[in-house]
Protein backbone atom coordinates (compact mmCIF):
# COMPACT_ATOMS: atom_id res chain seq x y z
CA UNK A 1 0.00 0.00 0.00
CA UNK A 2 2.55 2.54 -1.10
CA UNK A 3 2.13 5.73 -2.95
CA UNK A 4 5.10 6.06 -5.25
CA UNK A 5 5.96 9.68 -4.60
CA UNK A 6 8.87 9.57 -7.03
CA UNK A 7 6.27 9.58 -9.81
CA UNK A 8 5.14 13.06 -8.81
CA UNK A 9 7.73 14.49 -11.15
CA UNK A 10 6.57 18.10 -11.07
CA UNK A 11 5.84 20.29 -8.06
CA UNK A 12 2.28 20.96 -9.29
CA UNK A 13 1.31 17.31 -8.55
CA UNK A 14 0.11 16.01 -5.19
CA UNK A 15 -2.22 13.41 -3.69
CA UNK A 16 -5.14 14.03 -1.32
CA UNK A 17 -6.34 11.90 1.60
CA UNK A 18 -8.73 9.93 -0.66
CA UNK A 19 -5.84 8.88 -2.88
CA UNK A 20 -6.83 11.23 -5.70
CA UNK A 21 -4.20 12.89 -7.84
CA UNK A 22 -4.30 16.68 -7.58
CA UNK A 23 -2.97 18.85 -10.38
CA UNK A 24 -2.34 22.53 -9.68
CA UNK A 25 -4.05 21.82 -6.37
CA UNK A 26 -7.28 20.63 -8.06
CA UNK A 27 -8.80 17.15 -7.83
CA UNK A 28 -8.39 15.43 -11.20
CA UNK A 29 -11.46 13.27 -10.55
CA UNK A 30 -13.65 16.34 -10.07
CA UNK A 31 -12.20 17.91 -13.21
CA UNK A 32 -12.86 14.74 -15.22
CA UNK A 33 -16.47 14.68 -13.97
CA UNK A 34 -17.00 18.32 -14.82
CA UNK A 35 -15.35 18.45 -18.26
CA UNK A 36 -15.37 14.81 -19.42
CA UNK A 37 -12.46 12.78 -20.79
CA UNK A 38 -10.16 12.69 -22.59
CA UNK A 39 -9.21 16.03 -21.19
CA UNK A 40 -6.15 18.23 -21.54
CA UNK A 41 -5.44 20.23 -18.40
CA UNK A 42 -2.96 23.10 -18.34
CA UNK A 43 -1.63 24.75 -15.23
CA UNK A 44 -1.61 28.43 -16.19
CA UNK A 45 0.11 29.50 -12.96
CA UNK A 46 2.93 27.10 -13.76
CA UNK A 47 3.27 28.46 -17.32
CA UNK A 48 3.45 32.00 -15.96
CA UNK A 49 6.04 30.95 -13.38
CA UNK A 50 8.15 29.38 -16.15
CA UNK A 51 7.96 32.55 -18.25
CA UNK A 52 9.01 34.65 -15.25
CA UNK A 53 11.87 32.31 -14.41
CA UNK A 54 13.18 32.55 -17.97
CA UNK A 55 12.76 36.32 -18.12
CA UNK A 56 14.50 36.79 -14.78
CA UNK A 57 17.37 34.49 -15.76
CA UNK A 58 17.84 36.27 -19.09
CA UNK A 59 17.62 39.68 -17.42
CA UNK A 60 20.27 38.63 -14.93
CA UNK A 61 22.57 37.04 -17.50
CA UNK A 62 22.25 39.64 -20.28
CA UNK A 63 20.86 42.79 -18.67
CA UNK A 64 18.57 44.52 -21.16
CA UNK A 65 20.31 42.67 -24.03
CA UNK A 66 18.30 39.44 -24.02
CA UNK A 67 14.82 38.21 -24.98
CA UNK A 68 12.70 35.15 -24.40
CA UNK A 69 10.42 33.99 -27.21
CA UNK A 70 7.86 31.27 -26.54
CA UNK A 71 8.06 28.69 -29.37
CA UNK A 72 4.34 28.45 -29.88
CA UNK A 73 4.47 25.27 -31.98
CA UNK A 74 4.60 23.52 -28.59
CA UNK A 75 1.03 24.61 -27.84
CA UNK A 76 -0.87 27.21 -29.83
CA UNK A 77 -4.29 28.63 -28.95
CA UNK A 78 -5.53 32.10 -28.15
CA UNK A 79 -5.32 31.93 -24.37
CA UNK A 80 -1.64 31.04 -24.48
CA UNK A 81 -0.78 34.04 -26.65
CA UNK A 82 -2.71 36.22 -24.17
CA UNK A 83 -0.64 34.76 -21.35
CA UNK A 84 2.56 35.43 -23.31
CA UNK A 85 1.48 39.00 -23.98
CA UNK A 86 0.68 39.55 -20.31
CA UNK A 87 4.00 38.08 -19.22
CA UNK A 88 6.01 40.23 -21.64
CA UNK A 89 7.29 37.30 -23.70
CA UNK A 90 8.09 37.35 -27.42
CA UNK A 91 6.90 34.46 -29.60
CA UNK A 92 8.18 32.18 -32.34
CA UNK A 93 5.54 31.42 -34.98
CA UNK A 94 5.86 29.01 -37.90
CA UNK A 95 2.71 29.35 -39.98
CA UNK A 96 -0.10 31.63 -41.01
CA UNK A 97 -2.31 29.70 -38.60
CA UNK A 98 -0.11 30.52 -35.62
CA UNK A 99 0.18 34.14 -36.76
CA UNK A 100 -3.59 34.41 -37.16
CA UNK A 101 -4.19 32.93 -33.71
CA UNK A 102 -1.68 35.28 -32.09
CA UNK A 103 -3.23 38.29 -33.85
CA UNK A 104 -6.70 37.22 -32.69
CA UNK A 105 -5.32 37.09 -29.14
CA UNK A 106 -4.09 40.67 -29.46
CA UNK A 107 -0.43 39.71 -29.33
CA UNK A 108 1.92 42.60 -30.32
CA UNK A 109 3.32 41.07 -33.49
CA UNK A 110 6.44 43.22 -33.57
CA UNK A 111 7.64 40.78 -30.90
CA UNK A 112 7.07 37.76 -33.16
CA UNK A 113 9.78 35.84 -35.03
CA UNK A 114 8.50 33.99 -38.09
CA UNK A 115 10.22 30.65 -38.79
CA UNK A 116 9.62 27.89 -41.36
CA UNK A 117 11.77 26.44 -44.09
CA UNK A 118 9.08 27.08 -46.66
CA UNK A 119 7.16 30.32 -46.38
CA UNK A 120 4.89 30.70 -49.38
CA UNK A 121 4.31 34.09 -51.00
CA UNK A 122 0.91 34.14 -49.30
CA UNK A 123 2.56 33.44 -45.93
CA UNK A 124 5.03 36.26 -46.50
CA UNK A 125 2.25 38.71 -47.37
CA UNK A 126 0.12 37.62 -44.42
CA UNK A 127 3.04 37.97 -42.01
CA UNK A 128 3.80 41.47 -43.27
CA UNK A 129 0.10 42.40 -43.11
CA UNK A 130 0.16 41.27 -39.47
CA UNK A 131 3.28 43.33 -38.77
CA UNK A 132 5.47 40.38 -37.77
CA UNK A 133 8.71 41.81 -36.36
CA UNK A 134 11.30 39.41 -37.72
CA UNK A 135 11.53 36.79 -40.42
CA UNK A 136 13.95 33.97 -39.71
CA UNK A 137 15.00 32.97 -43.22
CA UNK A 138 16.70 29.77 -44.18
CA UNK A 139 16.85 29.76 -47.93
CA UNK A 140 17.78 32.18 -50.70
CA UNK A 141 14.43 31.86 -52.46
CA UNK A 142 12.75 33.19 -49.33
CA UNK A 143 15.21 36.08 -48.98
CA UNK A 144 14.45 37.17 -52.53
CA UNK A 145 10.68 36.81 -52.06
CA UNK A 146 10.74 38.74 -48.77
CA UNK A 147 12.82 41.49 -50.36
CA UNK A 148 10.37 41.74 -53.27
CA UNK A 149 7.29 41.92 -51.03
CA UNK A 150 8.90 44.38 -48.61
CA UNK A 151 10.01 46.51 -51.56
CA UNK A 152 6.46 46.65 -52.93
CA UNK A 153 5.37 47.98 -49.52
CA UNK A 154 8.29 50.40 -49.27
CA UNK A 155 9.39 48.87 -45.99
CA UNK A 156 12.62 47.23 -44.84
CA UNK A 157 11.83 43.86 -43.32
CA UNK A 158 13.95 42.79 -40.36
CA UNK A 159 15.49 39.36 -40.99
CA UNK A 160 17.66 36.85 -39.17
CA UNK A 161 19.42 34.10 -41.08
CA UNK A 162 18.98 30.62 -39.72
CA UNK A 163 22.36 28.89 -39.71
CA UNK A 164 23.30 25.29 -38.99
CA UNK A 165 26.32 25.38 -36.74
CA UNK A 166 27.13 21.68 -37.33
CA UNK A 167 26.41 20.49 -33.83
CA UNK A 168 24.74 17.23 -32.99
CA UNK A 169 23.06 17.81 -29.64
CA UNK A 170 23.51 14.24 -28.48
CA UNK A 171 26.99 13.16 -29.48
CA UNK A 172 29.94 15.42 -29.03
CA UNK A 173 32.05 13.46 -31.51
CA UNK A 174 29.64 14.09 -34.33
CA UNK A 175 30.16 17.84 -34.05
CA UNK A 176 31.99 18.20 -37.32
CA UNK A 177 29.23 17.06 -39.61
CA UNK A 178 26.26 16.15 -37.45
CA UNK A 179 23.68 18.73 -38.20
CA UNK A 180 24.97 20.17 -41.45
CA UNK A 181 22.73 17.63 -43.17
CA UNK A 182 19.46 19.27 -42.23
CA UNK A 183 16.45 20.65 -44.05
CA UNK A 184 16.82 23.78 -41.92
CA UNK A 185 19.24 26.62 -42.30
CA UNK A 186 22.37 27.65 -44.13
CA UNK A 187 25.40 25.57 -43.18
CA UNK A 188 28.39 27.50 -41.92
CA UNK A 189 30.88 24.80 -42.88
CA UNK A 190 29.91 24.69 -46.55
CA UNK A 191 30.20 28.45 -47.04
CA UNK A 192 26.45 28.75 -47.69
CA UNK A 193 25.99 30.88 -44.57
CA UNK A 194 28.47 33.40 -45.93
CA UNK A 195 26.84 33.47 -49.37
CA UNK A 196 23.45 34.04 -47.75
CA UNK A 197 24.86 36.83 -45.59
CA UNK A 198 26.25 38.53 -48.69
CA UNK A 199 22.90 38.16 -50.45
CA UNK A 200 20.89 39.48 -47.48
CA UNK A 201 23.20 42.49 -47.17
CA UNK A 202 22.80 43.26 -50.87
CA UNK A 203 18.98 43.26 -50.83
CA UNK A 204 17.62 46.76 -50.39
CA UNK A 205 14.38 45.92 -48.63
CA UNK A 206 15.90 43.54 -46.12
CA UNK A 207 17.45 44.70 -42.89
CA UNK A 208 19.71 41.92 -41.71
CA UNK A 209 19.68 41.93 -37.89
CA UNK A 210 21.63 38.83 -37.05
CA UNK A 211 21.66 35.05 -36.92
CA UNK A 212 19.69 32.14 -35.51
CA UNK A 213 20.51 28.55 -34.63
CA UNK A 214 18.47 25.76 -33.05
CA UNK A 215 20.45 22.68 -32.18
CA UNK A 216 17.68 20.30 -31.18
CA UNK A 217 14.92 19.56 -28.73
CA UNK A 218 14.74 17.77 -25.37
CA UNK A 219 18.41 18.56 -24.78
CA UNK A 220 19.78 17.99 -21.28
CA UNK A 221 23.43 18.72 -21.92
CA UNK A 222 23.93 22.46 -21.30
CA UNK A 223 27.27 22.25 -23.04
CA UNK A 224 25.37 22.01 -26.34
CA UNK A 225 24.23 25.63 -26.05
CA UNK A 226 27.74 26.82 -25.20
CA UNK A 227 29.11 25.02 -28.24
CA UNK A 228 26.40 26.54 -30.43
CA UNK A 229 27.13 30.01 -29.02
CA UNK A 230 30.82 29.41 -29.65
CA UNK A 231 30.30 28.55 -33.33
CA UNK A 232 27.78 31.35 -33.85
CA UNK A 233 29.93 34.06 -32.24
CA UNK A 234 32.87 33.00 -34.35
CA UNK A 235 30.61 33.30 -37.38
CA UNK A 236 29.53 36.78 -36.27
CA UNK A 237 33.21 37.77 -36.05
CA UNK A 238 33.79 36.29 -39.51
CA UNK A 239 30.88 38.28 -40.96
CA UNK A 240 32.24 41.43 -39.35
CA UNK A 241 35.69 40.85 -40.84
CA UNK A 242 34.37 39.92 -44.27
CA UNK A 243 31.44 42.31 -44.71
CA UNK A 244 31.87 44.91 -41.97
CA UNK A 245 28.48 43.71 -40.73
CA UNK A 246 27.90 43.70 -36.95
CA UNK A 247 25.07 41.38 -35.93
CA UNK A 248 22.66 42.93 -33.43
CA UNK A 249 20.89 39.70 -32.54
CA UNK A 250 21.99 36.15 -31.83
CA UNK A 251 19.02 33.81 -31.41
CA UNK A 252 20.11 30.50 -29.85
CA UNK A 253 16.77 28.73 -30.37
CA UNK A 254 15.01 26.43 -27.93
CA UNK A 255 15.52 22.88 -26.79
CA UNK A 256 15.93 22.77 -23.00
CA UNK A 257 14.83 19.30 -21.84
CA UNK A 258 12.02 18.49 -19.43
CA UNK A 259 11.53 15.35 -17.30
CA UNK A 260 8.79 13.00 -18.54
CA UNK A 261 9.66 10.32 -15.99
CA UNK A 262 11.55 10.21 -12.71
CA UNK A 263 14.57 8.96 -14.70
CA UNK A 264 15.08 12.26 -16.56
CA UNK A 265 17.16 14.93 -14.82
CA UNK A 266 15.73 18.34 -13.96
CA UNK A 267 17.54 21.18 -15.65
CA UNK A 268 18.48 24.31 -13.75
CA UNK A 269 17.60 26.74 -16.52
CA UNK A 270 18.71 29.84 -14.61
CA UNK A 271 22.13 28.30 -14.07
CA UNK A 272 22.41 27.28 -17.72
CA UNK A 273 21.41 30.70 -18.97
CA UNK A 274 23.81 32.32 -16.50
CA UNK A 275 26.65 30.22 -17.94
CA UNK A 276 25.69 31.12 -21.48
CA UNK A 277 25.61 34.81 -20.47
CA UNK A 278 29.11 34.70 -19.05
CA UNK A 279 30.37 32.79 -22.06
CA UNK A 280 28.84 35.17 -24.62
CA UNK A 281 30.24 38.21 -22.80
CA UNK A 282 33.78 36.89 -22.58
CA UNK A 283 33.95 35.42 -26.08
CA UNK A 284 32.45 38.57 -27.65
CA UNK A 285 35.16 40.62 -25.95
CA UNK A 286 37.83 38.18 -27.02
CA UNK A 287 36.67 38.24 -30.64
CA UNK A 288 36.37 42.02 -30.66
CA UNK A 289 32.68 42.06 -31.55
CA UNK A 290 29.87 44.01 -29.93
CA UNK A 291 27.92 41.62 -27.69
CA UNK A 292 24.71 40.81 -29.58
CA UNK A 293 21.28 40.75 -27.98
CA UNK A 294 20.72 37.06 -27.19
CA UNK A 295 17.33 35.40 -27.71
CA UNK A 296 16.09 32.05 -26.43
CA UNK A 297 13.10 30.22 -27.93
CA UNK A 298 11.85 27.70 -25.37
CA UNK A 299 8.66 25.81 -26.18
CA UNK A 300 8.63 22.52 -24.31
CA UNK A 301 10.24 23.87 -21.13
CA UNK A 302 7.55 26.56 -20.83
CA UNK A 303 4.48 24.35 -21.19
CA UNK A 304 5.33 20.62 -21.01
CA UNK A 305 4.92 19.89 -17.33
CA UNK A 306 2.14 22.46 -17.12
CA UNK A 307 0.06 19.86 -18.97
CA UNK A 308 -1.64 16.61 -18.00
CA UNK A 309 -4.12 14.44 -19.91
CA UNK A 310 -6.94 12.55 -18.20
CA UNK A 311 -8.43 9.40 -19.73
CA UNK A 312 -11.15 6.96 -18.74
CA UNK A 313 -10.38 3.26 -18.90
CA UNK A 314 -12.70 1.26 -21.15
CA UNK A 315 -11.33 -2.26 -20.96
CA UNK A 316 -8.64 -4.35 -19.31
CA UNK A 317 -7.60 -7.33 -21.39
CA UNK A 318 -5.20 -9.85 -19.96
CA UNK A 319 -3.74 -12.32 -22.43
CA UNK A 320 -2.43 -15.06 -20.15
CA UNK A 321 1.28 -15.61 -20.60
CA UNK A 322 1.59 -12.50 -22.75
CA UNK A 323 0.47 -9.08 -21.69
CA UNK A 324 -2.25 -6.93 -20.24
CA UNK A 325 -3.77 -4.14 -22.31
CA UNK A 326 -5.56 -1.24 -20.66
CA UNK A 327 -7.56 0.70 -23.27
CA UNK A 328 -8.44 4.33 -22.72
CA UNK A 329 -10.81 6.74 -24.47
CA UNK A 330 -8.02 8.69 -26.21
CA UNK A 331 -4.74 7.68 -27.78
CA UNK A 332 -2.60 8.64 -30.77
CA UNK A 333 -5.15 11.27 -31.77
CA UNK A 334 -4.35 13.33 -28.66
CA UNK A 335 -0.83 11.99 -28.05
CA UNK A 336 1.14 10.87 -31.11
CA UNK A 337 4.50 11.03 -29.34
CA UNK A 338 4.92 7.38 -28.34
CA UNK A 339 3.90 6.24 -31.82
CA UNK A 340 6.23 8.78 -33.43
CA UNK A 341 9.24 8.87 -31.12
CA UNK A 342 8.76 6.06 -28.60
CA UNK A 343 8.62 8.76 -25.92
CA UNK A 344 8.57 7.77 -22.27
CA UNK A 345 5.68 8.94 -20.08
CA UNK A 346 4.54 8.63 -16.52
CA UNK A 347 0.96 7.35 -16.34
CA UNK A 348 -0.77 7.33 -12.97
CA UNK A 349 -4.03 5.85 -11.60
CA UNK A 350 -5.58 9.23 -10.86
CA UNK A 351 -8.05 8.13 -8.21
CA UNK A 352 -6.18 5.11 -6.89
CA UNK A 353 -2.92 6.75 -5.97
CA UNK A 354 -2.99 5.01 -2.58
CA UNK A 355 -3.16 1.49 -4.03
CA UNK A 356 -0.09 -0.63 -4.74
CA UNK A 357 0.77 -0.83 -8.42
CA UNK A 358 1.37 -4.53 -8.91
CA UNK A 359 0.05 -5.02 -12.42
CA UNK A 360 2.19 -4.19 -15.45
CA UNK A 361 0.13 -3.18 -18.48
CA UNK A 362 0.41 -1.47 -21.82
CA UNK A 363 -1.82 1.58 -21.90
CA UNK A 364 -3.29 1.81 -25.40
CA UNK A 365 -5.61 4.12 -27.27
CA UNK A 366 -8.87 3.55 -29.07
CA UNK A 367 -7.69 3.93 -32.66
CA UNK A 368 -7.74 1.18 -35.26
CA UNK A 369 -3.99 0.82 -35.32
CA UNK A 370 -1.74 -1.54 -33.35
CA UNK A 371 0.83 1.22 -32.91
CA UNK A 372 -1.72 3.31 -31.03
CA UNK A 373 0.09 2.95 -27.73
CA UNK A 374 0.49 5.59 -25.04
CA UNK A 375 3.05 3.68 -23.03
CA UNK A 376 4.25 0.13 -22.50
CA UNK A 377 4.87 -1.57 -19.15
CA UNK A 378 3.01 0.85 -16.93
CA UNK A 379 2.68 -0.21 -13.28
CA UNK A 380 -0.98 0.07 -12.25
CA UNK A 381 -3.18 -1.23 -9.41
CA UNK A 382 -4.73 -4.64 -10.06
CA UNK A 383 -8.14 -3.15 -9.35
CA UNK A 384 -8.04 -0.95 -12.49
CA UNK A 385 -11.29 -1.45 -14.36
CA UNK A 386 -13.73 0.16 -16.76
CA UNK A 387 -14.56 3.69 -15.58
CA UNK A 388 -11.24 4.24 -13.80
CA UNK A 389 -9.27 7.38 -14.47
CA UNK A 390 -5.67 7.50 -15.76
CA UNK A 391 -3.48 10.59 -15.87
CA UNK A 392 -0.67 10.92 -18.38
CA UNK A 393 1.81 13.52 -17.14
CA UNK A 394 3.84 16.13 -19.02
CA UNK A 395 1.49 16.56 -21.97
CA UNK A 396 1.55 20.36 -22.26
CA UNK A 397 3.98 20.50 -25.19
CA UNK A 398 3.40 18.96 -28.62
CA UNK A 399 0.16 17.21 -27.70
CA UNK A 400 -2.78 19.50 -28.43
CA UNK A 401 -0.68 21.06 -31.20
CA UNK A 402 -0.06 17.65 -32.80
CA UNK A 403 -3.55 16.23 -32.24
CA UNK A 404 -5.55 14.79 -35.15
CA UNK A 405 -9.00 13.53 -36.03
CA UNK A 406 -7.86 10.07 -37.14
CA UNK A 407 -10.81 7.66 -37.01
CA UNK A 408 -13.00 10.79 -36.80
CA UNK A 409 -12.26 11.17 -33.14
CA UNK A 410 -12.99 14.69 -31.87
CA UNK A 411 -10.08 16.47 -30.19
CA UNK A 412 -10.30 16.99 -26.42
CA UNK A 413 -10.80 20.41 -24.87
CA UNK A 414 -8.02 22.33 -23.15
CA UNK A 415 -8.90 23.52 -19.65
CA UNK A 416 -6.67 26.09 -17.98
CA UNK A 417 -6.19 25.91 -14.22
CA UNK A 418 -5.42 29.16 -12.46
CA UNK A 419 -5.64 30.16 -8.81
CA UNK A 420 -7.98 27.24 -8.00
CA UNK A 421 -10.30 28.03 -10.96
CA UNK A 422 -10.77 25.93 -14.10
CA UNK A 423 -11.62 27.63 -17.41
CA UNK A 424 -12.14 26.14 -20.86
CA UNK A 425 -9.58 27.68 -23.25
CA UNK A 426 -10.35 25.38 -26.19
CA UNK A 427 -13.74 23.66 -26.23
CA UNK A 428 -14.21 19.98 -27.00
CA UNK A 429 -14.68 19.27 -30.68
CA UNK A 430 -18.17 18.05 -31.51
CA UNK A 431 -19.37 15.56 -34.07
CA UNK A 432 -20.79 18.53 -35.99
CA UNK A 433 -17.31 20.09 -36.04
CA UNK A 434 -16.06 16.89 -37.63
CA UNK A 435 -18.40 17.22 -40.61
CA UNK A 436 -18.23 21.02 -40.77
CA UNK A 437 -15.77 21.00 -43.67
CA UNK A 438 -17.50 18.25 -45.65
CA UNK A 439 -19.41 19.81 -48.53
Q: Which of 217, 222, 333, 346 binds ligand LLP (CB under 6 A)?
A: 217
Shortest distance in whole angstroms from residue 388 CB to ligand LLP: 27
Distance between CA atoms of residues 208 and 214, nearest Å:
18
User: Binding residue for ligand LLP (CB under 6 A) from 301, 312, 324, 375?
Assistant: 301
- Regarding 166 and contact with ligand LLP (CB under 6 A), the answer is no
Angle between helices 223-243 and 192-202 (to 10 degrees): 50
Nearest to 73 by CA among 413, 400, 349: 400
Binding test (CB under 6 A) with ligand LLP, winner from 50, 300, 366, 411: 300
Nearer to ligand LLP, 38 or 257 (CB): 257
Catalytic residues: 368
CB burial of residue 252 (10 Å; 0-12, 13-18, 19+): buried
The C-alpha atoms of residue 255 and residue 218 are separated, in whole angstroms, by 5
Q: Is 71 in the site for ligand LLP (CB under 6 A)?
A: yes
Q: Of the two residues 301 and 375, which places its CB atom closer to ligand LLP in the complex? A: 301
- Sheet-wide strand order for 26-27: 13-15, 21-23, 26-27
Q: Total residues at the site for ligand LLP (CB under 6 A)?
A: 19
> What residue ranges in 276-346 does DSSP mark as E strands?
293-296, 307-319, 323-328
Tell me, rounded to whole angstroms, the distance of Cα 243 from its chain centroid: 35
For the bound state, the minimum distance from the C-beta of residue 59 to ligand LLP, rounded and expressed in Å, comes to 19
Residue pair 162/213 in contact by the 8 Å Cβ criterion: yes
Phi and psi at residue 407, to the nearest 5°: 60, 20
- Residue 232 or 316: the one with the smaller Cβ distance to ligand LLP is 232
Of 96 and 399, the one with the shorter C-beta distance to ligand LLP is 399
Q: Which of 87, 92, 138, 168 binds ligand LLP (CB under 6 A)?
A: 92
- Residue 29 is a binding residue for ligand LLP (CB under 6 A): no
User: What DSSP character marks residue 265?
Assistant: P
**In the complex, least distance from residue 184 CB atom to ligand LLP, rounded to whole angstroms:** 7
* CA–CA separation, 46 and 75 (whole Å): 14
- Regarding 299 and contact with ligand LLP (CB under 6 A), the answer is yes
- Binder among 166, 210, 254, 331 for ligand LLP (CB under 6 A): 254
If one asks whether residue 214 binds ligand LLP (CB under 6 A), the answer comes out as yes
Range in contact with ligand LLP (rule: CB under 6 A) among 224-232, 250-258, 313-321, 412-420: 250-258
Radius of gyration of the chain, Cα coordinates, nearest whole angstrom: 23
Q: How far apart are CA 398 and CA 219, in angstroms?
A: 15
Measured from the CB atom, the residue of 255 and 331 that comes closer to ligand LLP is 255
Closest separation between CB of residue 228 and ligand LLP, Å? 12
Contact of 284 with 62, CB cutoff 8 Å: no
Q: What is the DSSP string of 281-298?
A: HHHHHHHT-PPPEEEE--
Residue 164 near ligand LLP by CB under 6 A:
no
Q: If binding is defined by CB under 6 A, does position 396 make contact with ligand LLP?
A: no
Q: What is the rounded end-to-end Cα distance, in angstroms, of the chain?
A: 56
Please give the residues from 320 up to 339 whose contact with ligand LLP meets the rule CB under 6 A.
Answer: 337
- The site string for ligand LLP over 95-134 (x = CB under 6 A, - otherwise) reads --------------------x-------------------
Q: With respect to ligand LLP, which residue has the nearer C-beta, 312 or 335?
A: 335
Q: Is the bond into 367 cis (omega within 30 degrees of 0)?
A: no
Binding ligand LLP (rule: CB under 6 A), the pick from 66, 133, 166, 253 is 253
Residue 398 in contact with ligand LLP, rule: CB under 6 A: yes
Give Cα 200 to chain centroid, integer Å: 29
Q: Which is nearer to ligand LLP, 20 or 214 (CB)?
A: 214
Phi, psi of 304 (to 5 degrees): -55, -60
Compute the distance between CA of residue 226 and CA of residue 221 in angstroms, rounded to an integer.
Answer: 10
- In the bound complex, what is the minimum distance in angstroms from residue 273's beta carbon to ligand LLP? 13
Q: How far is the CB of 351 from ligand LLP (least distance, A)?
A: 28
Q: Report helix, strand or coil for 376.
A: strand
CB of 306 to ligand LLP, least distance (A): 13
Give SS3 for 108: coil
Residues lying near ligand LLP in the complex (CB under 6 A) are found at: 71, 74, 92, 115, 214, 217-218, 253-256, 297-301, 337, 397-398
Amino acid sequence: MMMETTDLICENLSVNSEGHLLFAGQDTEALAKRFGTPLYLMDEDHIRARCRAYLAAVQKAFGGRGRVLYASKAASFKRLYEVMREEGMGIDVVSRGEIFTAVRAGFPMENAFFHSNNKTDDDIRAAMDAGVGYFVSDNTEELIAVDREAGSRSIRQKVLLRLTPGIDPHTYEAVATGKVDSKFGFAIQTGQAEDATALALSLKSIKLCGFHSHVGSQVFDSDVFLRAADVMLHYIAQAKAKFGFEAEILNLGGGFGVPYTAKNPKLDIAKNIGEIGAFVASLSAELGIRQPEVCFEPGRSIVADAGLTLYTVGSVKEIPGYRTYVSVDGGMTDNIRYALYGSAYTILPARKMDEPREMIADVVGRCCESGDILQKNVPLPRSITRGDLLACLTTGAYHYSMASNYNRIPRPPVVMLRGGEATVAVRRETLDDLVALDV
